Amino acid sequence: MSFRTLQMGTADLERARQFWTQTMGLEELSSSPDFVTLAAGETHWTLTQAQTSPPIAHFAFNVPENLFDEAVAWLRERVPLLASADGTEQLFDFTNWNAHAVYFTDPDGNIAELIARHTLPESRRESFEILGISEIGLVTDDVPSTVAQLGLPTYRQGGPQFQPVGDEEGLLIIVQRNRPWYPDNRHPAQPIPFSVTLTNGQTSSWT
């Protein structure tokens, strides 16, 4: 269920464009005064100029499962790493997901993640690269109801405030409104407008 496209807003389009192309090295595919489309691995990621500052979002990029240390080193050269709420961790071992992750923030304050999923051996590479966007947070007032409406397979064990749906190549992270975003737990989750197109051609939008 990988994301073919993702579209979301930004408070400052030019600032976001410079960060993601110059700092993070994503390729710019097309742009106008109102949008920029970037190649985030296999995902075409479009950022649009929002009329008001969007709430903080969470999204994740898959990276090669065998190159997590290289991903961390690559990221450290570009941005500060985001620590856990108690400040003791910057590298995260998700045993239940068989994955390792590292977090950072972009100029909009969004909580972004590089995640190496060891359940995807086909993602192995000889050199580091971003493979695609694999997560986006979907904030709701009723997690179980939203999960049921989506009709997508649940991923790992969740609960009434948190339930991923999809698979390792594309997950909607369904979270309860006001549940703090991991890992620093400083920002309560609020709904953001976004749309995704999956590799099967299905397009879904939330406002």
Backbone angles phi, psi at 124, to 5 degrees: -60, 140
pLDDT, tens digit, 9 for 90 and up, residues 16-70:
999 999 999 999 999 999 999 999 999 999 999 999 999 999 999 999 999 999 9
At 98 the pLDDT is 98
Q: Is the pLDDT of residue 207 over 80?
A: no
At 1 the pLDDT is 85
- The whole-angstrom separation of Cα 197 and Cα 207 is 15
Q: Is the pLDDT of residue 203 over 90?
A: no
- Upstream peptide bond of 193 is cis (omega within 30 degrees of 0): no
At 99 the pLDDT is 98
User: In this structure, how many other beta carbons lie within 10 angstroms of the beta carbon of residue 190?
Assistant: 14
The DSSP-derived string for 96-110 is GGTEEEEEEE-TT--
Nearest of 148, 197, 160 to residue 7 by alpha carbon: 197
Report the DSSP beta bridge partners of residue 117: 99
Joined tokens for residue 10 = 């930004």
Domains along the sequence of the chain with CATH: 3-206 (3.10.180.10)
pLDDT, tens digit, 9 for 90 and up, residues 122-167:
999 999 999 999 999 999 999 999 999 999 999 998 999 999 999 9
The DSSP-derived string for 171-201 is EEEEEETTPBPTTT--SB-----EEEEETTS
- The whole-angstrom separation of Cα 206 and Cα 138 is 8
Joined tokens for residue 170 = 């594309």
pLDDT, tens digit, 9 for 90 and up, residues 78-132:
999 999 999 999 999 999 999 999 999 999 999 999 999 999 999 999 999 999 9
pLDDT, tens digit, 9 for 90 and up, residues 168-189:
999 999 999 999 999 999 999 9
